[in-house]
Amino acid sequence: MKARVLVTLKPGVLDPQGKAIHHALEGLGFDGVNDVRAGKLIELDLADDTDDAAIEDMCRKLLANTVIENFKIERLG
C-alpha cells in the first residue's frame, strides 16, 4: 500500500525557501504568482495492513514537526 504525507509549514510561520522560489519565478518573468510555500513530500510504501493511526503516529513522531508544521496523509491504494 502506498501513501504520501504532505508536510507544510503552518500559516504564519516564515518560509524563506518559498519566498526565494517566489522571487526566482518573478525574475524568470512569470506573472500572476501571488504566493509560494515550500513543503515536504514523503512517499511511503507500507504493508497492506498498516492503518491510518500508524501513519499518523509516524508523522507525529518523526515526519513532521507539529510545532510549526501541518501534515496531511493521502492513501494511494
Q: To the nearest whole angstrom, how small is the minimum distance from the Cβ of residue 67 to a second copy?
A: 18
Amino acid at 11: P
The C-alpha R_g of the chain, in whole angstroms, comes to 16
Instruction: Please state, in angstroms and rounded to a whole number, the distance separating the CA atoms of residues 9 and 71.
Output: 9
The correct pick among 12, 14, 16, 28 for binding a second copy (CB under 8 A) is 28
Q: Does residue 73 belong to the site contacting a second copy (CB under 8 A)? A: no
C-alpha cell at 23: 522571487
Q: Which residues bind a second copy (CB under 8 A)?
A: 4, 6-8, 18, 21, 24-25, 28, 30-47, 49-50, 54, 57-58, 61-63
